[in-house]
Structure 1
């Protein structure tokens, strides 16, 4: 297992290098002049040229990439064009609110999704199944930004139960986590139901029922572990999407996380921050996929890694 993990960690280096190249070319293809934005709308061309030289944007594109790549080799992401602070500090200040919001959303959505999916599979084609799958389809179909605004209107404006801006107390996490996790809970419910229905039709499950075992023991002891492997895959993917895809929710709730930082950086054409954030998102997906593969071996001991 350790050898497999080490190989996967070394294997992610070419992937991150390719992502760095693509992202560098992408951000420099964005319309707009960062030097003009940094200098201000009233600055003359001389001032803009000085700012462009100070930021290193007057260098040829290959030379800018070599400077960027040299910083990466030294473990640096450069400095923000907007604040002049190191990109690592900019991301570090915003990462924890996004991580906590993602974890909160993931915990409740996985619990609800698993419960609804298992109940729907056990009572397939009956009332609990129809109600659960209707709720799941509704959760997938309803856009996150619309759900967030509806929740704010009801629970903040009309009832005054929860705040809408900030991330300092647990109350601030309620509405954004529901908005962010609703789609994940729906996907988990449908995927869990499909996995459980497939496993419950296997011969060993029918044999367990023929022995007179209760349905609860059949589901928990004979079905759950085998049905959990594809569910864990979906869980890992959804967690990665939540970390990198919280931009809409953070914008709706003015959440002080990396999603809002990415939006602000794109508006200001802050190239180093954009590149650092997308590299971070790519690294998150790679590590999450590695964790999912390791969990396979823990759930099913028959799986061996070479």
Structure 2
């Protein structure tokens, strides 16, 4: 199995495994707890020590699961990331980022995770009603109190990232980044690199598309949010099949799986990029780790990127832009709020 080395994430001192484990799929839909704990511990024993969760996953059950998995002296072996800011109210997803909520969410996550501190605490989505400086002010206090070590943002626009970073250094920005999701490359990646912020790539396998191709929709369980994504609707999925076919052909030439090639491409995007593929199966986890052994030349990178270019992919990556960086700037901090 490939060695999972460490990397510096951002410029504030955080070191993580070069590949992480996204933990949403461990509880969505619900799965046998003992089996999912075995997956988490196998990841850690294999060198994948950067674990990514959120209070929204479940909700709450992913954090509880991790709390149980990290018992017995395992906590200090891992870099634990969780998120706040999303909650479901009467069937609607609400984004919240006021100081009182930030603090209450952090305290609740600490209890569920059964830890004294969180390594990396993200704002899951940006509350467009609250100036980012206000949210960051409370996160800065939590850092000073030792409850969190580093601060992150997810799906934030460049202007928000810059404003947040001016209040307290941002260690990482988590964005969807895969062969067929490249909208962050023009603005967000350069902004992060200018400020020394690490990039955490979620859904690096295209929400399963680069594992199974168009057949992936047949594996979506009842209630799976991916069923609503425009990219997976029949009229778009049929047109996107050629992307998977081209990547599959190249993977065959490289002697690896399609998912390994897609994951290797993300790894090759820079030393500051850490993908966090999620899986609930040990075999898939091993396959993802093996992607670290796939090496790509500049010519091969250019070839594979041409397959997933924007004009070759049909359908948006999310059902609504409300929860993407495209609509994530916040109001300015007024003089009244400063006082």
TM-score range, shorter chain: under 0.3
Please state which structure has a larger fraction of its residues in strand. Answer: 2
- Of the two, which has the highest radius of gyration? 1
- TM value normalised by structure 1: 0.22
TM-score, normalised on structure 2?
0.21
Higher helix fraction (1 or 2):
1
